[in-house]
Amino acid sequence: MVSCTKIKESTVNKPEKVDNPYYEKAWSYLDKKDPINAFQNFNKAKEIYLKNNDSLGVGKCLMNMGIILTDQGDYFGAQETSLEAIKYFNENEVEECNYINSNYNNLGVVTYNLKEYTNSIKFYNLATKFSKNSLDTKVFLNNKANVYRENEEFDKALKIYSQILKEGSRNKSEYSRALTNLAKTKWLQNSDYNPVSEFKKALNIRLEEKDIFGQNSSYAHLADYYINEKSDSALIYANKMYVTARQINNPNDQIEALQKLIILENPEKSKQYFLTYQKLNDSLQTARNKAKNQFALIRYETEKNKANFLKAQADNVKKQNQILKQYAGLGILGLVLIGGGVWYRRRKKILQQEKELEVKKTELRYSKKVHDVVANGIHRVMTKLENQEHIDKDTMLDDLEIVYEKSRDISYDHEKNNDLPFGEKLTEMLKSYSSDDLQLVIIGNEEIHWDKLNKNTQAEIFYVLQELMTNMKKHSKATRVVIRMHRINEEITIRYTDNGVGCDKLSPKNGIKNTGNRMESIGGTINFDAVSGEGFKAELKFSVQ
């Protein structure tokens, strides 16, 4: 995995001729194997590219910083940096594809080392998608297959290695890599499989090509196989791996080789190798922790300087704005005072005109209703009186009561448009029937919470109670009326009782008869109880709607 990153690092990301000295300086430090100073200069170069709005330059710096962090074992920092680089690349630009696939490849390496195998596969797929040459594609496919192998998805890994070998390659190093990985995977899948011939074939190619990184890998594979089969052979290859790992100055591979030698060597040498291993491992961890701290410090200082610069810039702008605001404020204040005075007078005049117009509209509307409903109704009654020789008193009273009902509805229609809460309007209506000769008692009106009922229910209850009060006034000769209101959960009960004359047989006229229709329209009921000499009772029941 790491060797692939180094290939991308050395072939794709070498600096072109740029007007950014820090970018070139960063590469000179990389050539000297000084990752910390290289990282610092890539970071400085990035800031210059940001000021110049050069998104590609920013992306390249972040990509290389991410690769350095990966090589130094700071996988979380590398992941964060490489993910940030993505937004600065334009995936529609062909000339940027090499940088894009290099960045995705690094993310694949990082997530592999973090054991996030699903994400690693995703990033290698993206690297392959943006690859524009077969050599890079084979590198990415090989890395992807390594992830499948590590995750023990051997069939998927073997399919990819076989595909690489089948397609062939002019690059013998790539061919030998696929061959040795194929053999290792077959052996891991089936412990009875003997991969030695393929391991040695790959090793011979690498020896011919002087591919020392590849030789190191082959020695590791052969030592791993022989460690349980033929310990003397395993010891030979473990020693060769240790020698090559030191030649390429790869501390991770040196540690791996030392671990093998500790197991394979005699106790005396094993003890020496263990001490070397312990010293190297401690040194490596110390160096990596130091590097992580320095990388974090570089990023922190950069962000701190940027924040200080932005703050100073903001303070300067703020001071200038304050001066401008003071002058502008004085001018605006003058305009506001003048304009406000003009606006207030004009607004006052408009509101007065609107109020007068609304009053006229209301008067006209109710005048029309009175004419259409009351006047026409009375006219029909008068016409009957003129044209009928024999007049039915009850029929005539019913007709007049209908006219009365309609006129009362007009009155309530006006009433319901005011802003009083319904409970107060209801109380006001009921109390309008009280007098020196009639005592009215209302109980429980507050607990009903009328304003939570819909307008239609409010109106119908208003009409029904108004009708009961009117009927009382006209017929019952009552001196005391009690109206009890009670609510249990969603059920409301209203009981009307008076001490009037009552009647022997309840024969409701149109008004009382309509109360039943009104209660039915809101899903409620009304029941009457009237006995001569014992007063009149009515019970309304309905649910909250």
pLDDT over threshold 50, residue 11: no
Q: Based on the number of CB atoms within 10 Å of its own CB, is 368 exposed (0-12), middle (13-18) or buried (19 or more)? A: exposed
Say yes or no to pLDDT of 504 above 70: no
Higher pLDDT, 86 or 348: 86
Please return the burial class of 236, using the count of CB atoms within 10 Å of its CB with bins 0-12, 13-18 and 19+: middle
Could you tell me the residue range of the domain that residue 466 belongs to? 418-543
Domains held by the chain: number: 1
CB neighbour list of residue 373: distance below 8 Å, 6 or more residues apart: 403, 406, 407, 410
Collect all residues with Cβ–Cβ distance below 8 Å to 141 and sequence separation of at least 6: 124, 128, 160, 163, 164
In this prediction, residue 401 carries a pLDDT of 67
**pLDDT tens, position by position, 439-457:** 999 999 998 999 889 999 9
502 lies in a domain?
A: yes
What's 526's domain CATH number? 3.30.565.10
Q: Is residue 518 part of a domain?
A: yes
Enumerate the β-bridge partners of residue 543.
Answer: 491
Q: Could you read off the pLDDT of 119-131 as tens digits, one per residue?
A: 999 999 999 999 9
Residue 536 lies in a domain: yes
| pLDDT attached to residue 166 | 87
- Please indicate, yes or no, if residue 426 is contained in any of the structural domains: yes
What's the pTM value of the predicted model, to 2 decimals? 0.54
Residues in Cβ contact with 317 at an 8 Å cutoff, skipping those fewer than 6 apart? none
- 147 assigned to some structural domain: no
Contact, 376 vs 358, CB < 8 A?
Answer: no
Structural domain contains residue 434: yes
**Residue 146 pLDDT level (bands cut at 50, 70, 90):** very high
Amino acid sitting at position 475: H
Neighbouring CB atoms inside 10 A of 412's CB total 15
Q: Is residue 43 in some structural domain?
A: no
pLDDT at residue 10 in the model? 38
439 lies in a domain? Answer: yes
| pLDDT tens for each residue of 261-313 | 999 889 899 899 999 999 988 888 887 787 778 777 777 776 666 565 455 55
